[in-house]
Structures are given as structure tokens and as C-alpha cells.
Amino acid sequence: METPQLNSLYQQLILEHYRKPRNKAELEDKTVEVHLNNPVCGDEIRLQLRIEDDHIADVKFTGQGCSISQAAVSMMTSLLKGKQLDEAQGVAQRFTEMMHGDEAAAKDKSLGDLRALAGVSKFPVRIKCALLGFEALQKALKQGHAGDPR
């Protein structure tokens, strides 16, 4: 019944993150928060980070939306906890490359579970779903820097 394309999109790992999202909670001692929604489809993400010095000490999110947007942000938060800020930027860039069909990026171990989302690149109308969490991250990193007392 299922086409191969669909199998590549809806991998078990994605459905598992959708059903049991990691880090989906309020972050009490956040230092930066970004709220993004996609007015076209209504997907919504509120991303909260605690940035200490040059790294992400903690990250959590709340929101609602499709399996792709919610699984992507769940995977993203799992991967980013403890990462240096420039490493986090690197992950965001690599993930964006993967979404635009870069096959080397899709094999890059630095993307961890996020590699399961490689199939999204074959579904152009869904790419923005996968990128919503990373858009929030990039905004948060900018704000985090702007608020940096140093």
C-alpha cells in the first residue's frame, strides 16, 4: 500500500519522536526564548534555551504541529544540549543543507537522529516544517548573542 517515498518520509524514528517528544517542557531558568509559527499551516514552536558562556546548557520546547515539525525540533533539542554555540550553528547549517538535498550532509554523523529526516527533502512542501525548529534556534542564537553581557 505504502509507496517507497512515504516509507522514506515517515521513518519509525520520526514517528517515535512525534509521539514521545524529547525535551518538551517549560525551561525554568531560560536565558532566551523564541516563539515561531507558520501562519500557512499553523505549526507552532516555542523554543527556550539556557545559554551559559559559549554553550547551550539546556534547551526545551513547547508547541504543536505535524509529525515532521515536532519530530525535527525534538531531535534538534536532544542533539544540541551541551553543544558549543558555534557547533549548534554548524548543525543548523548542515541540517539546512540536508533539507536542500545535499547527500553528504544526509550522511554526516554530526546530525545524529536528524538524519532520519533526510527523506523530507523529496517533499518540497514539507521542508519548511522540518526547518521551523532550526529557524527558531537561529533566532535564539542571535538574541542570545545580543543579550550577552560580555
**Residue 116 and residue 114: Cα distance in Å, rounded?**
5
Minimum distance, C-beta of residue 27 to other proteins, in the bound complex (Å)? 23
Is 66 a binder of other proteins (CB under 8 A)?
yes
Which of positions 129-148 make contact with other proteins (CB under 8 A)?
Answer: 129
Please name which of 150, 146, 129 lies closest in space to residue 32, comparing C-alpha atoms: 146
Q: What CA–CA distances, in Å, run from 125 to 40, 44, 86, 100, 130?
A: 11, 17, 29, 12, 10
Q: Which of 25, 26, 35, 42 binds other proteins (CB under 8 A)?
A: 42
Applying CB under 8 A, the span of 15-23, 27-35, 46-54, 83-91 interacting with other proteins comes to 15-23
Q: Which residues contact other proteins (rule: CB under 8 A)?
A: 1-3, 5-6, 9-10, 15, 18-19, 40-44, 64-68, 123, 125-126, 129
